Amino acid sequence: MIELLRVDHRLLHGQVAVAWFGSVGANTILVANDSVANDEFRKSAIRLAKPENAKLVMKSIDDSIKAINSGITDKYKMLVVVESVADAKKLIEGTNNVVKSLNLGGTKPREGTKNYSKTINLTDDEVSALKKLKNEGTDVYIQQVPSESRQEFN
C-alpha cells in the first residue's frame, strides 16, 4: 500500500528518510527513478540516507508500476519518492490511480519554471499535468516537512 507519493528532486535525503518515513508509518521506501535504477554510484549514495529500520527498493518508473500493479507491494507500507512531476504523473496513471494523494516536496528552479513556494518551481506543462491529476481525483498539495502546514495546490 502506498502511504505517500512525494515529488522531490533530491529523492532520498534527511527530510524524507527521517521526517516523512516516520510520519506516514511506512516500513518501505521505493525510489522510483529511471536514472537511479541504472546508476550504482547514485544507488550507493541513496543507501546512505536510508533509515535503519526501512526496506529500500530502487526501481525504474516502469518497473515500479509493474511491481505495484502485480500486488507484490501490497504487503508493504510504502513511501514512494520520485524526482519529477512527470514521473509522478506516469506512476499515478500507470497504476490506475491507486495513489490518492501527491505531496510536492521539492522541485528545483529550471529554465521556464515559476516559483509556487519556497521549494516548488514548476513549468506550465507541469502545472497542467498537476491540474489534470487533481481533476481526476488526486489530492495534490505542497508540504516540505510533516510539521509544516500543507498548502493545497490550486
Question: What's the domain range around 131?
Answer: 2-152
Q: Residue 12 belongs to a domain with what CATH number?
A: 3.40.35.10
Distance CA 59, CA 136 (A): 26
| DSSP string of 13-75, one letter each residue | SHIIIIIIHHHTT-SEEEEE-HHHHT-HHHHHHHHHHS-TT-EEEEE-HHHHHHHHHHTTTTT
- Indicate the number of domains in the chain: 1
Give tens-digit pLDDT for 67-92. 999 999 999 999 999 999 999 999 99
Task: Convert the pLDDT of each residue in 25-40 to its tens digit.
Answer: 999 999 999 999 999 9
pTM for the model stands at: 0.94
